Amino acid sequence: MNQTEKPQPKKDVIIVGTGIAGSLIAKLLTDHVFDTDAKKMIHRSEMNDSKAYKELSILMYEAGLEAGLELDSASSMVNYNDYIRKYYMEGAKVPNSPYPDLKQAPSPNVLDMQKIIPPFPEKKGYLVQFGPMPFASDAIRVGGGTTLHWLGTTPRMLPNDFKLKEKYNKAMDWPIDYKTLKPYYEMAEFEIGVSGSVAAQKYPIEESREEYYGKDYVFPMDEIPQSYMDQQIIKGLEGTSVQLDSGSIPLTLVPSPQGRNSTPNAAYGTAKLIKANHSESGYKLSLNNIENEEYKALGAVWNPYQGERCEGNASCVPICPVQAKYNALKTLKKALYKVNKNKNLQRNPYIQVQAQSVVYKVSVDQHNQDRISKVHLRRYISKEKTDFVEEVIDTGNSIVILAANAFENPKILLNSKYTAMKDGQPIEKTVANNSDQVGRNLMDHMVMLTWGLFPKPVYPYRGPGSTTNISSFRDGKFRSEFSAWISPLDNWGWSWPTFSPGSDLSKCLKGGLFGKELKEALAKDLSRQVLFHFEIEQLPNPDNRVTINNEYLDVLGIPRPVIHYELTDYEKRAMEQAKLASNQMFKKLGIEDRTEYSAKDNNTFMYKDVRYSYNGAGHIVGTHRMGHNASDSVTDSYCKAWDHPNLYIVGAGNMTTLGTSNPTLTLSAFTIRSVESILKDLETILK
């Protein structure tokens, strides 16, 4: 190991992580420059050739390999094709299967999830799980982050999701409401390129569709067609209700908004840009039309004309082979390359991205402990070697932004200790943790699966993983008693619970079937497989948390995340009610129920003498929540740390509660909003 205090020109902004949060901030910041005459930030579209402007200097760190961040056309295509080849070769097609398995920057993997036998932790893989129940979701540390293997479903949160305390006396209310976040949802939907039909969205909310989305609002692209299976289920459940303990709930099935390319919606209008407008109180972002430039779907990073439309490859999780599905590399490339005067893409020299760099702590200024003064990282040499160079970066006059996932952000903070004086006595403190909320309130959607055989062929295993969801259970008075949930219909048969179709083939071969008999047996069952998800909201629980312990280190000597996790009766009762709903829907549809939960399942429990099993949704949130004040949260509503004026902590960890929507769109919306505060702070620095 070599240690260096790395000399380099001052950076205005240092961003840790190149996932969707870090890439959004980098893109939006590099879209603006500092007007040295007017002493304010302006959008590039407002620049005057006769004037000089100060460009923002940005340094980004990524723990993954350098190859994942080579975004010139040739290199990015070669690297992405390597991902695809690895995916083809892997026996288990789990979310992380296409991507590098790095010992220097390990990732949690669903294949590592094991039962926990107290009092001993389960240490297989990256996470150290003390339980008592296993945390069942994974993430990936690679350029572009977990958006490389997300499903791409993009519903907004509902208004009541932001105020569970006010409405149902549960959890804690967000410091922002839906109305505040609504324009930023529109910006996020533009940046991701959402396909969907606003007119078809129906939710159990008090607001009208016009109030919820806005008059005449449409998504950028037309909806991805609902599958044939979806159409048969919709037809069979039309006009019906299910009876829960809380009462009768009518069933509503809606096409799911998707972060993948379809046909651009003519009603969406022109291409757009996100622009900061200056006022005496600060900055406000707005979505502006670009005149005479039509909206186009953004294709692959290496070729904008590939992946302009979803091709139905049915491998969205873990990889879209043509990049029709959005991933954060598309946004990152917009930060790294800007259109010059000749309308050509030119590498932006003011932003640097340093890969193979694992940030593991930050330091405060000894004389001004409010400010973050240094970032500490270990830069490893290659995928094969564990040698590394220790680097310490001066950040005293910079904005520091932690934009890693909800495991890594708290891990960095908890590893960042300093000594302060209180009443004349030295005390040890943790960066950004005066509230004692760093690492706490770890949440996920518990995914209860039910599966069976439809009475006639519905032909699964085609297209995106899910194109329809049952929205009926996303909100209601029952939330005072048990969790809300969303129910996507799965287009990929029993692949998740039983590893179909491979397991079906194996079973038939063991039964001696071959040739025509084998084909007929497979066609009979595989064509009728249906799978329902019940993605159940988990409430914030301070005892569900990420901690660190120097007994558990990775190969670079950095603490691994130590996980403490369990479900409460609030969530367990929701699983009971969800199974009750599933039973009624299966009966109405004539589905032969093949659902089976086993004591051998890794994530299983008994509730009222009935066994249930759950999976992780990959929705890892809540470990550095935003809040109303510094006593109960880590950041304010702009993701700015209460304790340190030059530190922002962004990502899914900011979410106060989880709601019933996939978190990527919401974290994108409030991350975009955070740029308003960052621009204001930069204006002060640059004046």
Alpha-carbon distance of 428 to 415, in angstroms, equals 12
Pair type for strands 399-402 and 529-536: unpaired
Q: In one letter, which amino acid is 686?
A: L
Alpha-carbon distance of 413 to 363, in angstroms, equals 10
pLDDT the model gives residue 10:
86
Bridge partners (DSSP) listed for residue 604: 613
pLDDT tens figures, 451-480: 999 999 999 999 999 999 999 999 999 999
pLDDT the model gives residue 4:
57
pLDDT the model gives residue 423:
86
Q: How confident is the model at residue 648 (pLDDT cuts 50, 70, 90)?
A: very high
pLDDT the model gives residue 534:
98
Q: How confident is the model at residue 400 (pLDDT cuts 50, 70, 90)?
A: very high
pLDDT the model gives residue 449:
98
pLDDT tens figures, 485-537: 999 999 999 999 999 999 999 999 999 999 999 999 999 999 999 999 999 99
Helical (H) or strand (E) element with 187: helix 178-192
Nearest to 639 by CA among 673, 613, 666: 673
Question: Are the CB atoms for 496 and 617 separated by under 8 Å?
Answer: no
pLDDT the model gives residue 241:
98
Token pair recorded at residue 323: 């990049």
Bridge partners (DSSP) listed for residue 406: none
pLDDT over 90 (residue 280): no
Q: How confident is the model at residue 194 (pLDDT cuts 50, 70, 90)?
A: very high
Nearest to 194 by CA among 219, 224, 160, 175: 219
Q: How confident is the model at residue 34 (pLDDT cuts 50, 70, 90)?
A: very high
Angstrom CA distances, 586 to 125, 233, 497, 580, 583, stand at 37, 10, 17, 10, 5
CB atoms within 10 A of CB 231: 15
Question: Are the CB atoms for 52 and 36 separated by under 8 Å?
Answer: yes
How far out from the chain centre does Cα 476 lie? 25
Q: Cis peptide before 318, with omega less than 30 degrees from 0?
A: yes
pLDDT the model gives residue 340:
83
Alpha-carbon distance of 471 to 252, in angstroms, equals 6
Alpha-carbon distance of 87 to 96, in angstroms, equals 9
pLDDT tens figures, 106-157: 999 999 999 999 889 999 999 999 999 999 999 999 999 999 999 999 999 9
Pair type for strands 562-565 and 128-132: parallel
pLDDT the model gives residue 346:
93
pLDDT over 90 (residue 376): yes
Token pair recorded at residue 303: 């070729």
Sheet containing 128-132: order of strands: 128-132, 562-565, 545-547
pLDDT over 80 (residue 7): no
Question: Are the CB atoms for 142 and 355 separated by under 8 Å?
Answer: no
Sheet containing 351-354: order of strands: 351-354, 58-61, 13-16, 399-402, 647-649
> What's 581-595 look like in SS3?
HHHHHHHHHCCEECC
Alpha-carbon distance of 202 to 226, in angstroms, equals 15
- Where helices occur in 218-314 by DSSP H, the ranges are 228-237
pLDDT tens figures, 206-258: 999 999 999 999 999 999 999 999 999 999 999 999 999 999 999 999 999 99
Q: Is the pTM of this model over 0.85?
A: yes
Q: In one letter, which amino acid is 37?
A: D
Token pair recorded at residue 273: 């840009």
Q: How confident is the model at residue 369 (pLDDT cuts 50, 70, 90)?
A: confident
Token pair recorded at residue 107: 């990732």
Alpha-carbon distance of 665 to 672, in angstroms, equals 11
pLDDT tens figures, 539-594: 999 999 999 999 999 999 999 999 999 999 999 999 999 999 999 999 999 999 99
Question: Strands (DSSP E) along 414-527, which ranges?
Answer: 417-422, 425-430, 446-453, 468-470, 485-490
- Where helices occur in 15-136 by DSSP H, the ranges are 20-30, 73-89
Mean pLDDT across the chain, nearest whole number? 96
pLDDT the model gives residue 209:
95
Alpha-carbon distance of 588 to 391, in angstroms, equals 62
Token pair recorded at residue 112: 């590592």
Token pair recorded at residue 363: 């330091």
What is the percent of the chain with per-residue pLDDT over 90, rounded to a whole number? Answer: 94
Q: How confident is the model at residue 1 (pLDDT cuts 50, 70, 90)?
A: low
Angle at CA of residue 604, ends 602 and 609, nearest 5°: 155
524 SS3 class? helix
Alpha-carbon distance of 358 to 380, in angstroms, equals 8
Alpha-carbon distance of 321 to 340, in angstroms, equals 30
Bridge partners (DSSP) listed for residue 592: 453
Give exposure, 181-195, as e/b (b: 16+ Cβ within 10 Å). bbbbbbbbbbbbbbb
User: Residue 411: CB partners within 8 Å, gap ≥ 6?
Assistant: 360, 439, 546, 548, 559, 560, 561
